[in-house]
Amino acid sequence: MDYRDTIDYINSFINFEKIPKYQYASAFKLERMNAILEELGNPHKDLNIIHVAGSKGKGSTCAIAAYILKEAGYKVGLYTSPHLVDFKERIRILNDGPDGPREFEGMIGEEEVNEILKEIKPVAENFREHRTLGKASFFEILTACAFLYFKKRQVDIAVLEVGLGGRLDATNVAMPLVSGITNISLEHTDKLGNTLAKIAYEKAGIIKEHSLVVSASQETEAMDVIRKVCIKRDAELYEIGKDIKYSILNSGEKGQVFDLKGPEYSYKNLEVSLIGVHQIENASIGIGMLKLMDPDRFNIRENDIREGLKKVSWSGRLQVIQRSPYIVLDGAHNLVSATALADSIKKLFSYRKLICVFGISSDKDIKGVSSVLDIISDIIILTQAKNNPRAEDVSRLKQNFRNSRPGLEESSNIEEAMQKALRLADKDDLILVTGSLFIVGEAMARLKM
């Protein structure tokens, strides 16, 4: 089986990332994930794990924690989703040999994917149509691959990003050293619930008995749920803004500087390479989680934190890939993230006109994101990702914008949309590509050609 065959095999399992509507509670089963891992020798039980859920910022938070751990000298497994350009981005190991390119450093190789899948395939076949546990999914098979790969490569610690929700997510079989919950907002309301409280309940499902938890500052409705779950499970909760406090000293297009104070630690003038003020909160969660771990097992020094923050890379999130004209990529897909993106664009960049290339999945907050982009954009080019079966049709997407507004254009694919944007842009303009990580990934691939 060559690499292409391997990917085709994994893709032959039902992929809920590409299906707009399904019954969440019946599609996701931790019993099935546990059964799959049992047949593989329970590789996850031999790993030290950090586990992160949330609506926004969980991938960035995972990357921040991983890069700090790398600076501390640990071999770090990093499991995130979805990928932008290459399937292999999802499974990475930092500090395992010479550093590669900063973007997607340490991602699993094609031969390694083949070898891991060869071992997993007999087990996967048992769960393709299991009589009592139902059909295994793409994400479950992939998560099993990550656990097995990290065990075989003997990582010191694995940092896991939740795929969807938390309570029923395949990663939630883990028993972490510490958990993090990033900002919670309305998302996947047809699956996770139509209130912040219901969504928070799903996210808080990663909290284990007698565990350590760091949470972003949340809306009262969401924080109340997190606090109740922690009390019920006798988990120790640390809240950003209450137990861990930060102050932003400087925020610009090339990075940010902030102070951080937590229980028994205080750092001045921390520099982080990621831009956008929301990344300061993500960094505070990442550092907060690491400082809660047993110092006899994981010794994280101040310099490790400083250097890790400077070196962290997380693609497709307020990422500047070109100047003159600016090209900025960001996967904002709901009202809260789009509003934060708009604020960051206005504060961080100086430009004459904003040209927005916009495509979004049909199950996202189309009206909310469109309303923000309608206000801030001079020109909007509507498009759709070819690799996303959930992509909203351009003609329907157009209905969410003011009929009278000038500069509303359509394009059938991202390549055509980018060509149009670059043709319309002068050197002092800004091109923003947003609405979906699928759109961002295809734009990134196109711009590297």
Q: Quick one: tokens of 192? A: 């996770």
- Would you give per-residue pLDDT tens digits along the chain (449 residues)? 789 999 999 999 999 988 877 878 778 999 999 999 999 999 999 999 999 999 999 999 999 999 999 999 999 999 999 999 888 999 999 998 776 666 689 999 999 999 999 999 999 999 998 889 999 999 999 999 999 999 999 999 999 999 999 999 999 999 999 999 999 998 877 788 889 999 999 999 999 999 999 999 999 999 999 999 999 999 999 999 999 999 999 999 989 999 999 999 999 999 999 999 999 999 999 999 999 999 999 999 999 999 999 999 999 889 999 999 999 999 988 888 899 999 999 999 999 999 999 999 988 889 999 999 999 999 999 999 998 888 999 999 999 998 778 899 999 999 999 999 999 999 999 999 999 989 999 999 888 74
Instruction: Supply the CATH classification number for the domain 319-447.
Output: 3.90.190.20
Closest by CA position to 174, among listed 24, 28, 48, 35:
48
- 20 Cβ neighbours under 8 A, 6+ residues apart: 361, 362, 363, 389, 390
- Maximum CA pair distance of the chain? 64
Domain 3-311 classification at class level: alpha beta
For residue 82, is the peptide bond before it cis, meaning its omega torsion is within 30 degrees of 0?
Answer: yes
Q: Name the β-bridge partners of 180.
A: 52, 214
Contact between 84 and 433 under an 8 Å Cβ cutoff? The reply is: no
CA gap 140, 119 in Å, rounded: 15
How do the domains of the chain map onto residue ranges?
Answer: 3-311, 319-447
Inter-residue long-range contacts of 5-13, CB under 8 Å, 24+ positions, other chains counted: 6/110, 6/113, 6/114, 6/117, 7/87, 7/113, 9/117, 9/121, 10/87, 10/117, 10/138, 10/141, 10/142, 10/145, 11/138, 13/124, 13/128, 13/135, 13/136, 13/137, 13/138, 13/140, 13/141
Structure tokens at 417: 């949309």
